[in-house]
Amino acid sequence: MASNGRKTNFDRRGKSKVVLFFPTPAYGHYRIELGLALAVVAAPLEGRFDLHLIDERVTPNYEQEVLRHLDDAVCVGISSITGYQIKRGIAMARMVRAVDPEVPIVWGGYHPSLFPEQTCESEACDIVCVGQGDVTFREIIEKLSSGQPLKGVTGCAYWTPDGVVVNEPRPLVNINEVLPAPYHLMDVNRAIELNQKQNHEKVRTIEFHSSQGCPGKCGYCADAQLFQRHWTGLDAERVVREVKHIVETYDLDQVNFSDANFFANQKRVKAICEGFIEQGVNIRWVASARPDTFHRYNPEVLELIRESGCKRIIVGAESAAAPVLDLINKGATAEDHLKSAQVCRDYGIGGTFTFITGFPHPPGTPPQETTQDLLNFIEKLKQIHPDIRTKIFVFTPYPGTPLYELSVKYGVPEPASLEEWADYNPATMKESLWVEPWERQMIEKVNGFYYPFAYPNSGMQQTLSNGGLKKIPYQVLHSLALARVRSHFYRFPVEWMLFKKLKKDTFEPIA
């Protein structure tokens, strides 16, 4: 049955394929992080359906790959966070509609979960899987493939001509009950090779997701809304077993944990490190830590963390000014950031500290922390430990967070449809209310050029010490960059403009 040209009843009896599409998540240059969400929702369907996981960044001829399965597809699933990924998801949905309007399109991920009704109102979507996807998606597929309505499937929303129906939410499932992500359904080797080629990565690295949620309540972060500040981690023994498996299968040198808060439970971290050592899981690993927890870890555990291969921790420091840290509810102080850097130094672990500039403040009032204040603090961190990397982001209010509400109050316009959210992203929000265009330019310069050259990573250090003739321009740039960051003088950046012209990308990986 169709209404206003939109189908409402999907009867997919006799269809055997499930097509899952991971759109490019962000505008600009990011390293490819595996679309683990698709693997997790595909896991319970293995052996029952013919599964096709297609990643726009990784799968060659990804459009044809999606379209050629439509005839026999129960549905097409699309994953998305807020912003650019929606744009690419909509583009694919339109192609699917044009080729076969009978195929239902199911969206999942952070953004559709925050806006199920608005997402279903878009012609690019029929059904939304709200929140955790593994069980809900399996039930959606079972209903569609047996020609039954979605009534009663908790955690799902769907369009009808009388309005969007949002079913009861599905209670959170303990992550230990979720099946392991079937990496073999993704083109992992190609993702590794693309990262090596595009980002000059020497090591073979992929992601592993070992916990869910975070007890923190940072005012800019979407995690609290979706997981109700509830943290659960996979048992250490399972983490060790699954990491060992992917390390052996894909001949990995490094694993990046994509958890929001890997270090939430010290006992679990200790057991994971011991497991890596006992089982001979010989890798480098990287994970995120809160600034207030890491430096409070026991020395014995910190020693194990280093010994088991932790190469770097990612610390969301965000600010060094007390009023800003209060505003964003960080639960950490500038002192915590400095102590975390000291612990990294003392245990021979690298640290990447991320900061955010341009948090909201009432119109007409000065900021409580300027970009210059941040740069001054970053200098302090870098003096503590040479292996501290930093990255400054410009604040973008993300929906589902208290700072989003505040930003709207101060005048940030609210997108009103899935299509409008598609253009909501940090790279295109040039008109931030709280960051001047010149500050944005300065951030681009320091993130992409001055810091990487002033404080070279190991690859650049090698070039500086033994790169033959190639080392001369690097040494010149290194000296200039160091002089700039020490004096905070970024005007007339001739060397930066020249570098940008010659080398289009100034990508500095976070991990």
Which range binds ligand SF4 by CB under 6 A, 127-135, 221-229, 359-367, 420-428?
Answer: 221-229
Residue 260 within binding range of ligand SF4, rule CB under 6 A: yes
* C-beta of 108 vs 360, nearer to ligand B12: 108
Q: Does 507 bind ligand B12 (CB under 6 A)?
A: no
54, 81, 320, 375: which one binds ligand B12 (CB under 6 A): 81
On the CB side of 13, CA atoms within 13 Å amount to: 6
Q: How far is the CB of 85 from ligand B12 (least distance, A)?
A: 6
**Count of positions on this chain that bind ligand SF4 (CB under 6 A):** 11
Do 226 and 113 meet the contact criterion of CB atoms below 8 Å apart?
Answer: yes
> What's the CA gap between 150 and 203, in Å, rounded?
45
How far the first Cα of the chain sits from its last, in Å, is 50
Closest listed residue to residue 305, CA positions, set 285, 334, 326: 285
Query: Token pair 């129906």 is at which residue?
Result: 165
* Interface with ligand SF4 (CB under 6 A), residue from 290, 361, 445, 478: 290
Q: What character string, x for contact with ligand B12 (CB under 6 A) and - otherwise, covers 38-77?
A: --xx-----------------------------------x
Among 286, 276, 274, 280, residue whose Cα is nearest residue 311 = 286
Give the shortest CB-79-to-ligand B12 separation in angstroms.
Answer: 3
Residues paired with 393 in a beta bridge? 356
Q: 124 is in the binding site of which of ligand B12, ligand SF4, none (Cβ under 5 to 8 A by kind)? A: none
What percentage of the chain's residues is helix, strand, coil (to nearest 5)? Answer: 45, 15, 40
**Of 6-14, 29-37, 214-222, 363-371: span binding ligand SF4 (CB under 6 A):** 214-222
Number of shown-chain residues binding ligand B12 (CB under 6 A): 40
Residue 355, phi then psi, degrees to nearest 5: -125, 160
**Whole-number Cα distances in Å, 185 to 44, 46, 180, 451:** 13, 10, 12, 38
* 218 interacts with, out of ligand B12, ligand SF4, none, CB within 5 to 8 A per kind: ligand SF4
Element (H, E) at 499: helix 494-502
Cβ burial of 74 (10 Å; 0-12, 13-18, 19+) is buried
Q: Which is nearer to ligand B12, 42 or 481 (CB)?
A: 42
CB of 400 to ligand SF4, least distance (A): 11
The closest alpha carbon to 216, from 202, 230, 203, belongs to: 230
CA distances from 237 to 233, 234, 260 (A): 11, 8, 20
Query: Least distance from C-beta 149 to ligand B12, angstroms?
Result: 18
261, interface contact from ligand B12, ligand SF4, none, CB < 5-8 Å by kind? ligand SF4
Q: How far from the centroid of its chain's Cα atoms is residue 465's Cα?
A: 34
In the list 89, 109, 351, 456, the residue contacting ligand B12 (rule: CB under 6 A) is: 109
Please say which residue, 113 or 308, places its beta carbon nearer to ligand B12. Answer: 113
* 371 neighbors 365 (Cβ within 8 angstroms): no
Alpha helices in 331-370 (DSSP H): 334-347
Instruction: Give dist(CA 56, CA 66) in Å, integer.
Output: 10
CA 456 to chain centre: 25
Restricting to residues 393-432, which ones interact with ligand B12 according to CB under 6 A? 393, 398-399, 425-426
Residue in 55, 126, 223, 439 binding ligand SF4, rule: CB under 6 A: 223
Our finding on whether 216 is near ligand SF4 (CB under 6 A) is: yes
Query: Considering the rule CB under 6 A, would residue 218 count as an interface residue with ligand SF4?
Result: yes
H/E run at residue 205:
strand 205-208
Q: Which two tokens stand for residue 445?
A: 């310069």
CB of 329 to ligand SF4, least distance (A): 8
**DSSP-assigned letter for residue 4:** T
Map tokens 């990294």 to a residue: 344
The 18-37 site mask, x for binding ligand B12 (CB under 6 A), equals --x----xxx--x--x--xx
What letter represents residue 13's amino acid? R
From the CB of 311, what's the least distance to ligand SF4, in Å? 20
- 159: DSSP letter: -
Is 259 near ligand SF4 (CB under 6 A)?
no
Asked if 97 touches ligand SF4 (CB under 6 A), the answer is no
Choose the stretch contacting ligand B12; rule: CB under 6 A; options: 220-228, 229-237, 438-446, 493-501. Answer: 220-228
316 sits near ligand SF4 (criterion: CB under 6 A): yes
Nearer to ligand B12, 4 or 228 (CB): 228
Residue 362 CB, nearest approach to ligand B12 (Å): 23
| Closest separation in Å from C-beta 395 to ligand SF4 | 13
Q: Where on the chain is the footprint of ligand B12 (CB under 6 A)?
A: 20, 25-27, 30, 33, 36-37, 40-41, 77-79, 81-85, 106, 108-111, 129, 132-134, 137, 209, 221-223, 258-260, 393, 398-399, 425-426
Q: Which residues bind ligand SF4 (CB under 6 A)?
A: 214, 216-218, 221, 223-224, 260-261, 290, 316
